[in-house]
Amino acid sequence: MSPTTAWQALAQRPLSFLTSSWPWRSLAYLSGGVVVGAAAALFFTLGLAAGIVLLVVLIGIAPLAGLVLASTVVGRVERRRLRLVDLDALPDPHCAPDSPGPRAWVTTRLKEQVTWRELTFTLLSAASLWWLDLLVLEFSFGLPALTFASTDGTTWPWTVFGAIVLLASPYTVTSWAGARGALARTFLAPRDRELGEELREVRASQSRLLDSFDAERARIERDLHDGAQQRLVSIGMTLGLIRLEIPNNSPEAGLLAQAETQLAATHRELRALIRGLNPPVLADHGLVAAVEDYAGRFPIPVHVDLRLPDRLSRQLETTMYYLINEALTNIARHSGATSAQVYGRYHADLLVLNILDNGRGGADPDRGTGMTGLADRIAAFDGRIQVTSPVGGPTLLQVEVPCHFA
């Protein structure tokens, strides 16, 4: 799968990243940020000055309100520009006015929370973001140009430094563009309460579907535990009684021993299946403990570095556990890896999970590896999964899920 964000593009192999369009897209994003931010800074400075002056004669409220409404234009432009570094489009969260006319439009916009988030982002962009964009561009390209322009032979160390900075510029520019894009998405993405009625119903339907999955899994686990597992125990007891009636050196005793061995193996597999369907450690101690427990029983070494400030919601916790479970199972079955890593952090209302292995690479999640269903469940939480797996490895599975802790 090809990357959908600038940060995901950085996880590619160096040659794949440098020959892709992402460095150029990031350069265009930052260059546009300088232009838009500088224009916003100039417009807001003039508008604020005019509003303060006119406020003396009680008509300054109009220019100030105009500044607030102008931020919606900046928000619209930024959502379009964001497609340069984040291919997932942001929907416009603004509602249509209840009645026609400019007064209804102004009233609606001033009441919407997204308008004030756009104002905050516009002020942030005008005050600092465009300066940072300019500094990154100046450092990446202006500084090397200055060192190359020098003709003094004693400054050759600076020329070498400038060449190193220029060679690193695709990574420098793309890193900052990815961070800036993530910040813009935080301010400009619609909140649940701002979604339309149809989308809210879709969310509710997805939640009900997840609940039904969890209930069905719990029912299967209960039926296996109370039904099939108890029958296997009963069969084992019956075989034990039969053994008492058969001489130890008879042919039937050998067959009975084979049956008992197969029954014990089946019982172990069933217990493992039941534990996998509804692991007690997940319910009792949470995702981190459950993943560490699973990794400790895994056939290859797995380093777990998963830190969360608190327990996740039951639905998300279960989904993330089975996603990690499925990803590690795929590593053991298909990758030829000798080690794997599970790394997870929570920051800025976003849970980021990386699963890395040192296998042969070339993984394709579209070939029915079991990840498609889990990707659908992650999508139900507004999350996304990205797999980067060049031939020769390594393979990185990155998951990003918005979530909130109390």
Q: Say what angle helices 197-223 and 314-330 make with each other, to 10 degrees.
A: 70
Q: Tell the CATH topology of 285-291+298-406.
A: Heat Shock Protein 90 (3.30.565)
User: Which neighbouring-strand residues pair with 402?
Assistant: 350
Q: Identify the residue whose tokens are 């290859």.
A: 300
Please report the pLDDT score of residue 50 as a whole number: 74
Distance between CA 67 and CA 120 in Å, rounded?
Answer: 11
Cβ neighbours of residue 57 under 8 Å, at least 6 residues apart?
none
Please report the pLDDT score of residue 102 as a whole number: 80
pTM assigned to the model: 0.58
Distance between CA 319 and CA 145 in Å, rounded?
Answer: 51
311 C-beta neighbours (distance < 10 Å), count: 14
Distance between CA 349 and CA 186 in Å, rounded?
Answer: 9
Q: Where are the domains of the chain?
A: 6-195, 197-278, 285-291+298-406
pLDDT along the chain (406 residues), means of 10: 76 81 94 91 81 65 76 90 87 80 82 87 90 93 83 72 89 92 86 57 59 62 63 72 73 73 70 61 83 87 88 82 85 86 84 88 64 70 80 84 72
